[in-house]
């Protein structure tokens, strides 16, 4: 029995010693406070002055923070506090069980860097330290400038074909606001190859860099084929920036202007500005049609990527907006669409050399590339926005949509306003006085491709005339179904109006293509 009492005393002493260790915080501690989810704002420029910081959490564990406790401070029992780099901020305000906010003194963000924010709920037991996780608050420096390019020298070279292994061209880019360095890196020179427009711009190797001049190397891998590349300078943001909302605070970005570097023939210099368009892609992803600047005119190109072809295929690019002799269009082409097999490509173009006798203004064309056809097929281009009865006299055609087989093409015809002076021909005068004058109208062209005993014809689908020259607030064209049995049209309440049959959403309707 005596031995048992001795053992019990030793055991009690041991527990007492361990308890003492806990009292002096020598035991293992765990973060048992709130789980913070975000800070608002998450960053500010240095020197911004006092600001209100909102802290959101999944729950402030250990304390029920509610509007009844609003105005609580660090002296209240059980009130969570906000710490800035380990220092308590005075008088946190509690909105609810997941939100607190506090005023941060401006002197805490006087210099660029990162501050670490966490919350602390008073300790409530052994091993519970009441600390939350930590979130970083970015203090940005002066916003980086956006660079400007004034020249690129040289701005052209000849293709190197299959002998590009040791070929490279060093270009000198001059301009302003280039950054040799910042707290997030220096300026980068990028090259965008128009033959592969869906790849990210490539960063070129820089050999020297100052505030007004950059020397960079274009490797031979970009110089094999005739092409036009775009050169830009990109400045990094000043400080970590992962959300669009912080971009104005940190500056940087791509140069407002870009320069063309020509591989082959054609002028270099400042690249014309071209609005980005949605490319068209074949069902298997192998073929991509897109708009691209070529020798100062926007052309429709078709890229064979060889995707899914294991052997015997070399990626190639061909110009689709061409005339009978293979000459590229002499004016801009836009809005390419294609059949799922990549054979037929429809587009709108202002060129006058694609089809003989083309009317002036933008028109819709269909190009048979002969992809997948037998050897008797010859690539050809036909005019789509035409009508033997004269209903399309004096109009322009835009925004085509194509059926799966390529036989049917829907498009928008821009007719003159009835208030305008009519054309001189009697037929055009009759058209101008018709109910559908002065509007955007939707037509479907039956080309008779693949059909026998068929006469090509054009049918107007928009049935109810309106009085607006635009399609409401949602400009756009028709979308024809694969079998050409239905059309989806935009905004039945405005100029392109028709008899709606199925509502797709508030502004898009489905209509039957059967003529009324």
Domain ranges of the chain: 1-28, 36-140, 148-270, 280-512
Quote the pLDDT of residue 461: 78
Give the mean pLDDT of 477-492. 60
Please give the backbone phi and psi of residue 118, each rounded to the nearest 5 degrees, phi first.
-150, 170
Q: Tens digit of pLDDT for each residue in 182-227?
A: 656 789 999 987 665 546 688 899 999 999 999 999 998 888 887 7
pLDDT above 90 for 378: yes
Nearest-angstrom CA–CA distance, 231 and 171? 10
Other CB atoms closer than 10 Å to residue 511's CB: what's the count?
20
d(CA 2, CA 171): 95
Q: Which CATH number is 148-270 given? A: 2.60.40.10
CATH tag for 36-140 (out of 2.20.28.10, 3.20.20.210, 3.90.25.10, 2.60.40.10): 2.60.40.10
Give the pLDDT score at 152.
93
Q: Is the pLDDT of residue 267 over 80?
A: no
Please report which confidence band the pLDDT of residue 341 belongs to, taking 50, 70 and 90 as the band edges: very high
So what's the architecture of 280-512 in CATH?
A: 6 Propeller (2.120)
Q: What is the mean pLDDT of the chain?
A: 74
Nearest-CA neighbor of 460 among 476, 475, 446, 441? 441
pLDDT digits (tens, 9 = 90+) for 102-159: 999 999 998 888 899 998 877 666 666 778 889 989 888 777 888 999 999 999 898 8
**φ, ψ dihedrals at 22, nearest 5°:** -65, -40
Task: Please name the helix (run of DSSP H) or strand (run of DSSP E) that holds residue 429, with its range, or none.
Answer: helix 426-432
Residue 257: half-sphere exposure toward Cβ, Cα within 13 Å: 15
d(CA 354, CA 365): 8
Start-to-end Cα distance in the chain: 110
Kindly tell me if the per-residue pLDDT of 72 is higher than 60: no
Report which listed range, 57-71, 211-225, 241-255, is most confident: 211-225
| 36-140 and 148-270 agree in CATH topology | yes
Whole-number Å distance between alpha carbons of 378 and 449? 14
Digit-coded pLDDT (tens) for 305-322: 898 888 889 888 899 999
Report the 10 Å Cβ neighbour count for 233. Answer: 26
């Amino acid at each position: 029995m005596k031995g048992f009492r001795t053992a019990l005393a030793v055991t009690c002493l041991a527990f007492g010693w361990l308890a003492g260790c806990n009292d002096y915080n020598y035991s293992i501690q765990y973060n048992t406070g709130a789980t913070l989810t975000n800070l608002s704002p998450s960053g500010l420029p240095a020197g911004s002055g006092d600001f209100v910081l909102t802290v959101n959490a999944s729950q402030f564990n250990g304390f029920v923070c509610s509007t009844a406790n609003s105005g609580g401070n660090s002296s209240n029992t059980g009130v969570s506090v906000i710490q800035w780099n380990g220092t308590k901020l005075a008088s946190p305000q509690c909105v609810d069980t997941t939100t607190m906010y506090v005023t941060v003194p401006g002197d805490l963000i006087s210099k660029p860097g990162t501050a670490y924010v966490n919350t602390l709920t008073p300790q409530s037991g052994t091993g519970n330290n009441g600390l939350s996780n930590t979130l970083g608050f970015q203090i940005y420096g002066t916003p980086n400038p956006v660079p400007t390019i004034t020249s690129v020298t040289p701005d052209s070279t000849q293709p190197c074909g299959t002998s590009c292994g040791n070929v490279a061209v060093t270009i000198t880019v001059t301009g302003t606001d280039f950054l040799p360095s910042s707290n997030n890196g220096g300026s980068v020179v990028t090259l965008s190859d128009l033959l592969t427009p869906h790849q990210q711009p490539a960063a070129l190797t820089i050999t020297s860099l100052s505030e007004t001049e950059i020397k960079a190397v274009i490797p031979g891998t970009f110089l094999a084929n005739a092409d036009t590349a775009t050169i830009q300078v990109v400045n990094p943001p000043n400080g970590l920036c992962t959300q669009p909302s912080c971009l104005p605070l940190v500056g940087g970005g791509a140069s407002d202007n870009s320069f063309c570097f020509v591989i082959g023939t054609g002028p270099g210099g400042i690249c014309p500005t071209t609005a980005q368009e949605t490319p068209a892609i074949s069902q298997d992803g192998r073929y991509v049609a897109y708009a691209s600047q070529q020798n100062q005119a926007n052309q429709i190109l078709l890229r064979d990527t060889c995707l899914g072809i294991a052997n015997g295929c070399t990626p190639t690019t061909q110009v689709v907006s061409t005339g009978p002799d293979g000459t590229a269009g002499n004016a801009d082409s836009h809005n390419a669409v294609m059949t799922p097999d990549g054979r037929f490509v429809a587009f709108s173009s202002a060129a006058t050399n694609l089809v003989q006798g083309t009317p002036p203004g933008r028109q819709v064309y269909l190009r048979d590339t002969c992809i997948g056809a037998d050897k008797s097929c010859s690539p050809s281009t036909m005019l789509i926005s035409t009508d033997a009865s004269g209903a399309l006299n004096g109009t322009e055609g835009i925004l085509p949509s194509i059926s799966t087989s390529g036989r049917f093409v829907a498009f928008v015809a821009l007719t003159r306003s009835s208030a305008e002076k009519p054309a001189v021909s009697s037929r055009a005068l009759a058209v101008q006085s018709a109910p559908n004058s002065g509007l955007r109208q939707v037509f479907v062209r039956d080309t008779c491709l693949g059909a026998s005993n068929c006469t090509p014809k054009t049918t107007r689908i928009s049935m109810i005339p309106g009085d607006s020259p635009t399609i409401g607030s949602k400009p756009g064209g028709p979308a024809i179904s694969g079998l050409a049995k239905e059309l989806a049209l935009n905004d039945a309440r405005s100029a392109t109006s028709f008899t709606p049959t199925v509502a797709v959403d508030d502004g898009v309707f489905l209509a039957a293509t059967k003529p009324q």
